Amino acid sequence: MGRIPPFKPERAPRMIPEHFLNRELQSLEFNRRVLAQAEDRATPLLERLRFLCIVSSNLDEFFEIRLAGVKEQVKLGAGAPDPDGLLPREVFSRVAAVAHFLVDRQYQLLNGEILPALAKAGIRFLRRAEWTAAQQEWVKEFFFREMMPVLTPIGLDPSHPFPRVFNKSLNFAVELDGRDAFGRDSRVAIVQAPRVLPRVIRLPRGVAGGEADFVFLTSILHQHVGELFSGMNVTGCHQFRLTRNSDLFVEEEEVKDLKKALQGELPQRHFGDAVRLEVDDTMTESMVAFLLEQFGLAPVDLYRVNGPVNLVRLMSVPDQVERADLKFKPFLPGLPKSLAKSKDIFETLRKEDVLLHRPFQSFAPVIDFIREAARDPQVVAIKQTVYRTGTDSVIMQTLIDAARAGKEVTVVVELMARFDEEANINWAAKLEEVGAHVVYGVVGHKTHAKMVLVVRREEGKLARYVHLGTGNYHPRTARLYTDFDLLTADENVCMDVNEVFQQLTGLGKASKLRRVWQAPFTLHGKVLEAIEGETRHAKAGRPARITAKMNALLEPLVIEALYRASQAGVKVDLIVRGVCALRPGVPRLSENIRVRSIVGRFLEHTRIFHFANGGEERVFLSSADWMDRNFFRRIELCFPVTDAKLARRVVREGLTPYLEDNTQAWEMRPDGTYERRKRGRGKKRAAQAELLAALAGS
């Protein structure tokens, strides 16, 4: 098995800017589609509020990472970094205009529709003017008991410079009149709200006037801010929130200990360069100018809002209210028949592969697979990759128990999983304490592949079992994201996975894998070969079609290959949840390509690649999107579904209903905008609802 040479395309990329859409603008287009879920009156009311919060959360990360990068390029005077040919300054200008529109629309929707509708349903967010005497007394007591002891007002003067403001923290700019006990006449103070304080407080039953009454932390502080400045006159109190560049910078190739380097860098995430300033719409122009100057921001970076500056904090409200009529109908994830009847998962896998489609089917069999491996005295080794798993993970605790029981446990922990770095570092430390082998992947390449390898002694020989998935080993996202899991004892696949673990934990040349396509070695080349194979089949008059589902499509060589396939007559259906740089439906370029996005109750996360292949169909599942980073800067796996019955299931469940969806589907136009699919007179088709009905329990 010799070394695999890097893939070299047959021709240089054409890189015609008109062929590509801008990534940042496409990201905001996705958030338009999410916002449409909050606008849709057919969506249950508390779920509309939740979608509104999701947009805010998405925009936070967009500003922290994507727009922060664009601003950095503008500052450095960089040229056009992407195939679309737009200069960073042009990108920033266009993105800012769309972002301002989205934020304005959010608050229009919140104040004009969602909050009034919630109030009619008995869920109220009380303004100060609406408080009864009893509520005012309760709020006052809450302020002195819970807030006053942890608040630290900072008056601004030569000995008290402007404080360091945490990324996305809630702060108040207080305007004052008068002199304090020391004779100081500072006119401005900053009050930072500690993160331990809830931003939305539910009034207790004895005080609440309705079924569920809430007050905002900001309202409580506005009411009693004078208590922090005894003897002075408060002339204004305004909330503000600063978003900072949160992309960690670690020169991976220069550090000797990635974990230590990350631990040193994580605290600085809270104090990166300022990117966006959010203020309430009552803030005076003089205070706005003062804050913009303090943070080195321009007026275009200012977002005035009519309401809380952090809508993400409203995400907790649906969980605090017991109103099933205002939420999505609950469901019990189903189980495949082969597992429902099985008492021994290893015995089942020796007979057949198992495919799970979550969240419609349960993630529990994956947990059980690892748990049984940890308990089974015949199991000698467990190896697993960890990208995102959360702070409270049954799987990670099970691996710790397995190591304590004396099994050989190897865990490849990705320390650079954005915003999960701290949780992963903590799990790594706990695993090392019990003797597990913990490695941190490959410098310069994130380990994004989702795989578990179990080695078991059977009849004097060692047998291997594998789990491969399109999604993370995360208990929460397993209930919210759509993903496929494959459990198999296929010897070729098991040998491939074992080889990948050898690469990650040891040293040596990359060997040729039998069934699995692997980034950064073969995945890009194999995808291009498969697309070009369909082009050749079409030209020869054989069956040719490409159907692919993913989160993002950006890699220019793949896009150009899809254009060539379209020109050869290949029908290409792409289901791309988020960012897509390809332009569909352009005459003589992509008229045979259709791009659609499904946005619904669950976050579409599955990666499926289906090739007609001249009549000998091939179906693959993958951890990778068709993006540069996935092909060249990550460890990714793309694995075939070789069982014909299961391959048909993947197509029947993962592709066909999404192509026929006329309720939650958005069709992409050639200019990169989207139009929601209208049902017309035909039967209502909603992929996620149909899959729930077909696969979930009662």
Instruction: Give the domain CATH number at 69.
Output: 1.20.58.310
End-of-domain residue from the set 271, 304, 326: 326
Contact yes or no for 234/225 (Cβ under 8 A): yes
In this prediction, residue 180 carries a pLDDT of: 60
pTM recorded for the entire structure: 0.92
In this prediction, residue 262 carries a pLDDT of: 41
Q: Over the stretch 273-308, which tens digit does the pLDDT of each residue have?
A: 999 999 999 999 999 999 999 999 999 999 999 999
Q: Over the stretch 608-643, which tens digit does the pLDDT of each residue have?
A: 999 999 999 999 999 999 999 999 999 999 999 999
In this prediction, residue 3 carries a pLDDT of: 44
At residue 7 the predicted structure's pLDDT band, cuts being 50, 70 and 90, is: very low
Q: At which residue do the structure tokens 């259906």 appear?
A: 573
Q: Which two tokens stand for residue 576?
A: 């791309």
Residues ≥6 apart with Cβ < 8 Å to 186 = 155, 156, 157, 160, 176, 180
Count of domains for the chain: 4
Contact yes or no for 171/182 (Cβ under 8 A): no
146 and 244: one domain?
A: yes
23 and 128: one domain?
A: no
**What is the sign of the dihedral through the CA atoms of 367, 370, 375 and 377?**
positive
* Residue type for position 393: S
Whole-number percent of the chain with pLDDT over 90? 77
In this prediction, residue 424 carries a pLDDT of: 73
Residue 6 resides in a domain: no
Residues ≥6 apart with Cβ < 8 Å to 227 = 143, 144, 148
Q: Is beta strand 446-447 parallel, antiparallel or unpaired with respect to 450-458?
A: unpaired
* Torsion angles phi and psi, residue 285, rounded to 5: -60, -35
Distance CA 486, CA 607 (A): 13
Distance CA 219, CA 141 (A): 14
Contact yes or no for 553/576 (Cβ under 8 A): yes
Say whether 113 sits in a helix, a strand or coil.
Answer: helix
Say whether 35 sits in a helix, a strand or coil.
Answer: helix
Residue 633 resides in a domain: yes
Residue 2 resides in a domain: no
Q: Over the stretch 402-428, which tens digit does the pLDDT of each residue have?
A: 999 999 999 998 876 455 567 777 888
Residue 23 resides in a domain: yes
Nearest to 378 by CA among 400, 338, 347, 337: 347
Residues listed for the chain: 698
Residues ≥6 apart with Cβ < 8 Å to 693 = none
52 and 193: one domain?
A: no
Residue 1 resides in a domain: no
Nearest to 558 by CA among 519, 500, 605: 519
Mean pLDDT of all residues belonging to the chain:
90
Instruction: Give the domain CATH number at 635.
Output: 3.30.870.10
In this prediction, residue 158 carries a pLDDT of: 52
Q: Over the stretch 200-247, which tens digit does the pLDDT of each residue have?
A: 999 999 899 889 999 999 999 999 999 999 878 899 999 999 999 987
Question: How many Cα atoms are found within 13 Å in the side-chain-facing hemisphere of 11?
Answer: 10
In this prediction, residue 149 carries a pLDDT of: 95
In this prediction, residue 1 carries a pLDDT of: 35
Nearest to 550 by CA among 592, 582, 590: 582
In this prediction, residue 475 carries a pLDDT of: 84
Residue 360 has pLDDT above 80, yes or no: yes
In this prediction, residue 255 carries a pLDDT of: 41
Q: Over the stretch 28-80, which tens digit does the pLDDT of each residue have?
A: 999 999 999 999 999 999 999 999 999 999 999 999 999 999 999 999 888 87
Contact yes or no for 513/522 (Cβ under 8 A): yes
Distance CA 48, CA 328 (A): 10
Looking at residues 491-519, what average pLDDT do you find? 92
404 and 426: one domain?
A: yes
End-of-domain residue from the set 513, 548, 568: 513
Residues ≥6 apart with Cβ < 8 Å to 485 = 355, 356, 358, 363, 365, 366, 467, 468, 469, 470, 471
Distance CA 601, CA 664 (A): 10
Residue 215 resides in a domain: yes
DSSP letter assigned to residue 361: B
At residue 271 the predicted structure's pLDDT band, cuts being 50, 70 and 90, is: low
In this prediction, residue 254 carries a pLDDT of: 43
Count of CB atoms within 10 A of residue 453's CB? 21
Distance CA 403, CA 116 (A): 54
263 and 122: one domain?
A: yes
Residue 250 has pLDDT above 70, yes or no: no
Distance CA 489, CA 353 (A): 7
One DSSP character per residue, 369-431 reads HHHHHHH-TTEEEEEEEES---SS-HHHHHHHHHHHTT-EEEEEE-TTSTT-HHHHHHHHHHH
End-of-domain residue from the set 73, 105, 137: 105
In this prediction, residue 253 carries a pLDDT of: 44
Q: Over the stretch 650-683, which tens digit does the pLDDT of each residue have?
A: 999 999 999 999 999 999 999 999 999 987 777 8
Residue 562 resides in a domain: yes
Regarding predicted confidence, which is higher, 14 or 272? Answer: 272
In this prediction, residue 12 carries a pLDDT of: 45
Whole-number percent of the chain with pLDDT over 70? 92
DSSP letter assigned to residue 62: I
191 and 213: one domain?
A: yes
One DSSP character per residue, 451-462 reads EEEEEEEETTEE
44 and 155: one domain?
A: no
DSSP letter assigned to residue 327: S
401 and 496: one domain?
A: yes
408 and 506: one domain?
A: yes
Residues annotated catalytic, as ranges: 448
Residue 519 has pLDDT above 90, yes or no: yes
63 and 157: one domain?
A: no
DSSP letter assigned to residue 63: I
In this prediction, residue 419 carries a pLDDT of: 52
Residues ≥6 apart with Cβ < 8 Å to 409 = 381, 382, 383, 399, 402, 403, 431, 435, 436, 437
Q: Which two tokens stand for residue 185?
A: 């006449």
Say whether 108 sits in a helix, a strand or coil.
Answer: helix
In this prediction, residue 183 carries a pLDDT of: 53
One DSSP character per residue, 636-677 reads EEEEE--SHHHHHHHHHHHTHHHHH--SSEEEEPTTS-EEEP
611 and 548: one domain?
A: yes
* Torsion angles phi and psi, residue 284, rounded to 5: -70, 155
In this prediction, residue 179 carries a pLDDT of: 65
* Domain boundaries, position 97: 17-105
490 and 535: one domain?
A: no
